Structure formats: structure tokens, C-alpha cells
Structure 1
Amino acid sequence: MATVVCPDVFVSHDEKDENLLIDVFLPGAEKETIRLSFTKSGFCVEARDENRDITYFGCFTLAHEVFPDKAKAKFENGVLRITVPFKKEETFEIKVE
């Protein structure tokens, strides 16, 4: 029976503050086993490392709503890099008294 591991995830944004950059760490996983699904508020990822009998699985909520239909993903050296544009919200500065 495979060991199930929640992958480490690092989220940042690009220099133009238009896209979220999401790195999902899947050491030993095979690209062909990766399953990635998105909603406007989060994503789920699953992958397998057949050699060590490990299944990576996790679902994550994002701080910003995104445009899931515009997400792009690339897998290289054990890291799944996801780039997805996020919706900008109007912010208001609150005066502290």
C-alpha cells in the first residue's frame, strides 16, 4: 500500500503582480502520473513516485481568486510550476485612530 504524502507548496506572484506562481514539490514523481485540477479559489494535485511507492496528494485554497482556465503548468526536476492569473480586488486604506 502506497504512503500518501501532502506535497510542499510555495506561492508567490510575478514581478508585474498579475500571476500567482505556485511551486509544488513532487520529488521522484513521474510527469505522466500528475493530475492537476483548479477552481477559482484553489487547486488539487496528485502524483505518484512508483520507485518509493509514494502518492502525493493535496488540495489547497488560494488567497486570491484566479482564472483557472488560463492556468499553465510545467514539471521539471521534481517541481511542478503553475502560473495562473489572479483577479485583482479593489483595496481600501483604513485610517487607524
Structure 2
Amino acid sequence: MRDQMKLTYIPSAYITHTGKMYEIMVEVPGVKKGDIHLEMTEQGFCLNAEGERFKYSGCWSLAHRVKPETASAGFSDGLLRITVELAEDVKGLEIPVN
């Protein structure tokens, strides 16, 4: 069987925070849970995953420091869900729009 070159994609990531934690969703369709490699640091995270036809690779910086030891991840239907606590609570100043 001839080896085929797999295309590498940067997956789409959706990042929100509640003031106390980040909630992150990353789209990685076509891979299995055991083929996902995720690393979290205080400043961001990197993900590598490989399916039968595609590879996914990407690193993201986060606007606020996090506690990587609190991170948890779940995977279902091609969607990786990550939660991680912020290193400190974040409160913004609401600006009225005229």
C-alpha cells in the first residue's frame, strides 16, 4: 500500500471565559480520542491530532494566565472541549456604546 501525504490543517478554536475559567472548543473531525495530543501551559495550549486522512496542528495564546493543572478535556463527535481555571479572576470595565 502506498503511503499518502496527509494535509495538515489548523483547527478552528472557539475560546470564551467566564471570569473564572476558560471554555475552549476545538474542531478536529475525523480523529479518534487516543490520537489527540494536548499540552497546556500558563500562557496557552498546543494541540496535535492525526486521523486517517488529515492532520491537525495548532497553538493558541490565551489573553489571561491559567492554572494548567486544573485543565480537563473531553472529546465527542469531532469536538474537543477544554476547561481550565484562570490564574486570577478577571473583571473588565464595561464601556457604554453611544
The bucket for the TM-score relative to the shorter chain is 0.7 to 0.9
TM-score, L = length of structure 1: 0.84
Shift of 1:13: 2.0
Distance 1:5 1:92, change over 3 A: closer
Distance 1:4 1:64, change over 3 A: same
Contact 2:21 2:85 in 1 (8 A): yes
How far apart, CA to CA, are the structure 1 residues paired with 2:92 and 2:49? 41
The aligned residue for residue 12 of structure 1 is: 16
The aligned residue for residue 7 of structure 2 is: 3
How well do the aligned residues superpose, as a CA RMSD in angstroms?
1.8
The aligned residue for residue 68 of structure 1 is: 68
How far apart, CA to CA, are the structure 1 residues paired with 2:8 and 2:66? 27
The aligned residue for residue 56 of structure 1 is: 56
Shift of 1:49: 1.7
Contact 2:44 2:61 in 1 (8 A): yes
The aligned residue for residue 84 of structure 2 is: 84
Which portions of structure 1, spanning 4 or more consecutive aligned residues, are displaced by more than 6 angstroms?
A: 90-93
Q: Percent identity?
A: 37
What count of residue pairs does the alignment treat as equivalent? 89
How far apart, CA to CA, are the structure 1 residues paired with 2:41 and 2:24? 14
